[in-house]
Amino acid sequence: MGVSSIVICTFIVSIVANFFLVDRYYIYEQRKILNEVANDIRSVSENDFASNLKRIEEEHTVTIVYSEVSSNLDQLNDSIRSEFETKKLKLNKFWITENTLNTLQNNSVNKIYDQGVTKYKVLTKFIKIDDYIIAIALPLPHMEETVLIINRFNMVLMTFSVLLIIFLVLILSNKITRPLESLKGLSQDIASLKFRREEINTNDEVGDLAKSINSMSEKLEKAHNEVSLQNKRLRDLMSDVSHELKTPLSIVKVYEQGIVDGLDDGTYREVIEEQIEKMDLLIGKLLFWTELENSSLNKCDFDIGSRIIDITGKYTLILQENCIDLSLNIEDKDYIIRADQEGIDVVLDNLVTNAIKYTNDKCIEITLTKDTNGVNLTIANGVGEIDEGDLESIWRPFYVLEKSRSKELSGTGLGLPIIKTILDNHKLDYGFKLKNNRLTFFVTFV
C-alpha cells in the first residue's frame, strides 16, 4: 500500500499548491509580459509613436493607452479611463494617485485593480515617457473559482487513481508473492536435502530466480549423490582393506604364538615374512592408488607398440610354465600416442598380469590397430562362465572374478582400480566386452 500513500500525498500537495500558489504564479508570468511591452515602448521612435503602440498591442495582446500628464488627478484618471473604454476595456475601479505620479518620475509602477462583481482584475503597468503617462493593461480572470474547479477535478481523479492503484497493487503483489512463497518452500526443502524443482514461468526476474534455484537444486542433488557415493565407496574400501589386512595379521599372530610355544618346524619364520611382505605390498599399492587421484600427467610422445612388446617380454617364463599362448597382433609400424608413459606402463602391466591370472583357455590375444579415432588396444582371454552383471563390479577394489590361477602373479586386488584411475585421468575411452566366454578389455588412445 506504499504506492497508494505516495499518490495520495502527491495529490494533496498538488491541491494545496494550486490553492495558494497558482494565482500568484499566474500574476508573476503576466508581469513579465508587461515588462517586455514596456521595454518595447521605450525603444519606439517619437516620429511614429502611435502606429508603433498599435503594433505592440497586437503582438502582445494587451491594451495600451496614454495621456498627457495633468496637474488635475481627476482629469488624468478620467482621460485614461475614457481611453480604456474606447478600446472596449470598461473599468469600474481605476485611479492614479499622487504617490503613483511621484514614483513614475524614476520607476515604473504596477497596479492590480479588482473590478468587483464583474469577477476579473486588471493588471496595469504605468510608465512615464517625457510628459506622457502610458498605461499597459492586461485583464486577469479570478483564479479562485478556476482553482476550486481544478481541485475538485483532482479530488475525483485522485479517488479513481487510488482505487485503480490499490487494485493493481493487489494483483501485482499476489503475482509476485505467490511465486516467492513457492521459492521459499523450495529453498527450505533444499536446506533439508530434499532436492526438487518448482515450475514458475513468469518471464520476469522472479522466473529467472526460479530457474537459478532449480538449477542449483539439480547441481546440489548431483553433488550430494556423488558425496554419498564416495562415502559409500570409502566405507566399502575401509571394510575391504580391513579384511585384506586381517587375514595375514591373523596368520602372523598364529605362527608367532607357535614360535613362542616351541612348535616351529623351521618354516614359521618364512610364513610370517611372506605375510608381512603381502601386507607391505598391499599398503604400497594403496598409497600408489591414492597418489594417482591428485597426480599430474607428464605427457610425452612414445610408441605404445614397443612398450607392449617390452612388457609382455618380462612374462615369457611365466607364460611357458603355465602353457599359455600369447598372440601379439601388432603390425610393423609406429603407434605413436601422447600420454603419461609411466602411467600407461602401469596400465599395460596390470592388463597383461590380469589376462595371465584369469585365462582359462590358455590363450591371450593382444591386438593393436590404428584408425581415424586413434590407436586401439584390445586384450582378450577366455574366462569361462561369468555373469555380465559382474563386469561393472570388477572396477571395485579387491573384487575378483575367481581365484588366481597363477601363484606367481597373485596380487592385491587393486590392479583394475589403478587402471581405471589412470585412464580416467587421461580421459580415454575404455571398457570390457564379454562374448562367447571371452573377456575383451579395450582402450582407445587419441
pLDDT, position 7: 58
R_g of the chain computed on alpha carbons: 54
Cα–Cα separations (whole angstroms), residue 369 to 303, 304, 312, 350: 13, 11, 17, 20
* Count of CB atoms situated within 10 Å of the CB of 316: 10
How far is the C-alpha of 215 from the C-alpha of 198, rounded, in Å? 10
The answer to whether residue 245 sits within a structural domain is no
Joined grid coordinates for residue 236: 566399502
- Report the SS3 class of residue 333: coil
pLDDT, position 147: 67
DSSP assignment letter at 88: T
pLDDT, position 378: 92
Burial class (CB in 10 A: 0-12, 13-18, 19+), 244: buried
* pLDDT at residue 274 tops 60: yes
* pLDDT at residue 120 tops 80: no
DSSP assignment letter at 193: T
Handedness of CA 24, 25, 26, 29 (dihedral sign): positive
Q: What is the domain count for the chain?
A: 2
The answer to whether residue 259 sits within a structural domain is no
> For residues 365 and 327, is the Cβ–Cβ distance under 8 A?
yes
Burial class (CB in 10 A: 0-12, 13-18, 19+), 307: middle
Question: Which of 145, 162, 195 is at the close of a domain?
Answer: 145
The answer to whether residue 228 sits within a structural domain is no
How far is the C-alpha of 438 from the C-alpha of 380, rounded, in Å? 7
The answer to whether residue 380 sits within a structural domain is yes
Q: Which domain holds residue 10?
A: 2-145
State the pLDDT confidence band at 408, using cuts at 50, 70 and 90.
very low
Q: Whole-number mean pLDDT of the chain?
A: 80
* pLDDT at residue 404 tops 90: no
How far is the C-alpha of 3 from the C-alpha of 333, rounded, in Å? 82
The answer to whether residue 280 sits within a structural domain is no
More confident residue, 31 or 397: 31
State the pLDDT confidence band at 407, using cuts at 50, 70 and 90.
very low
Cα–Cα separations (whole angstroms), residue 139 to 23, 89, 124, 145: 13, 9, 8, 16
Cα–Cα separations (whole angstroms), residue 312 to 243, 309, 353, 431: 32, 5, 9, 21
pLDDT, position 405: 43
Question: Which of 145, 180, 215 is at the close of a domain?
Answer: 145
DSSP 97-129: -HHHHHHHTTS-EEEEEE-GGG-EEEEEEEEEE
How far is the C-alpha of 426 from the C-alpha of 299, rounded, in Å? 9
Report the CATH number that the domain containing residue 339 is assigned in CATH: 3.30.565.10
- Report the SS3 class of residue 434: strand
Cα–Cα separations (whole angstroms), residue 440 to 168, 252, 372, 375, 404: 70, 38, 21, 16, 18
pLDDT, position 118: 65
The answer to whether residue 431 sits within a structural domain is yes
Question: Which of 145, 173, 199 is at the close of a domain?
Answer: 145
Residue 137 gets the label, from left (phi > 0), alpha (psi -120 to 50) or beta, of beta
Condensed to tens digits (0 to 9), the pLDDT of residues 166-221 reads 888 788 777 777 777 888 888 888 888 888 888 777 777 777 888 888 888 888 88
Condensed to tens digits (0 to 9), the pLDDT of residues 239-271 reads 666 766 777 788 888 888 888 888 878 788 888
The answer to whether residue 67 sits within a structural domain is yes
Beta-bridge mates of residue 336? 303
Q: Tell me the whole-structure pTM to 2 decimals.
A: 0.49
Helix axes 304-313, 341-358, angle to 10 degrees: 50
**Which residue's entry shows cell 599372530?**
253
The answer to whether residue 173 sits within a structural domain is no
Report the CATH number that the domain containing residue 22 is assigned in CATH: 3.30.450
Phi–psi pair at 254, nearest 5 degrees: -65, -45
Phi–psi pair at 19, nearest 5 degrees: -70, -40
Q: Shortest CA distance to 165 belongs to which of 49, 23, 3, 6?
A: 3
Condensed to tens digits (0 to 9), the pLDDT of residues 342-386 reads 888 888 988 898 888 888 888 999 999 988 888 999 999 888 776
- Report the SS3 class of residue 33: helix
